[in-house]
Amino acid sequence: MTVIMYSVNENLKEIAVRYPAAETAEKHTRILMAAGLAYREKGFSGVSVSDIMKATGLTHGPFYNHFNSKEALISEALQYISDATVNLTDGFEASEEGKADFVRSYLSSEHCNDSGNGCLMASLASEIAREPSFKPTFTRHVTGIIANMVERFPWSSKARAKKDALRTLAAMVGAVVLARAVDDDDLANEILSEVADGLVRSARS
């Protein structure tokens, strides 16, 4: 009987240790998700830690159980967004048509109008440009996207693949940035469609 009770007690202890750890990890992820959405929508200075904690259903108090500072949260949120989106090309067929679908999806009005769930590059590049400590994460993200584009899609030649992917990515990101910045919906849609058509035509010529 003593052995059985010891076993039960040990199991209860193990469960008690595991549950808070799992709960803490789940809350941590919720904070990162809320921060990633908020920063992409409003920028780093446009949202407070309290706003982010409120969005997760948590009070401000537990924040420092997860992060040392707002800068630490931003840094980890950027990595979280990057991890979640760097392989976005995988959702498209590895063909010329798949590349065209990728371009048109990125340059869609749906993506343009949903910055909170959209591309890290189009939403935060200008802010990260002024924050040297965040540049390494952003640089890894950009190089990762380019590498995935080169590997996933066909290009005019192997020697030019990276250059073509760079030009394509820069045009896509720039078009979304411009379209989001103007206050004319017709112009915004024209920017997106013209850049998409130009990139698709160029790839097929």
Residue among 139, 104, 137, 109 nearest 36 (CA)? 137
The confidence score (pLDDT) of residue 56 equals 86
> How would you label 44-78 residue by residue, b for 16+ Cβ within 10 Å and e otherwise?
beebebeebbebbebeeeebeebbeeeeebbbbbb
Q: Give residue-wise pLDDT tens across range 37-92.
A: 999 999 999 999 899 988 988 776 678 778 889 999 999 999 999 999 999 899 99
The confidence score (pLDDT) of residue 204 equals 74
Q: Give residue-wise pLDDT tens across range 168-192.
A: 999 999 999 999 999 999 999 999 9
Domain annotation for the chain: domains and CATH numbers: 2-82 (1.10.357.10), 86-204 (1.10.357.10)
- Alpha-carbon distance 199 to 166, whole Å? 12
- Alpha-carbon distance 108 to 116, whole Å? 15
pTM for the full model?
0.84
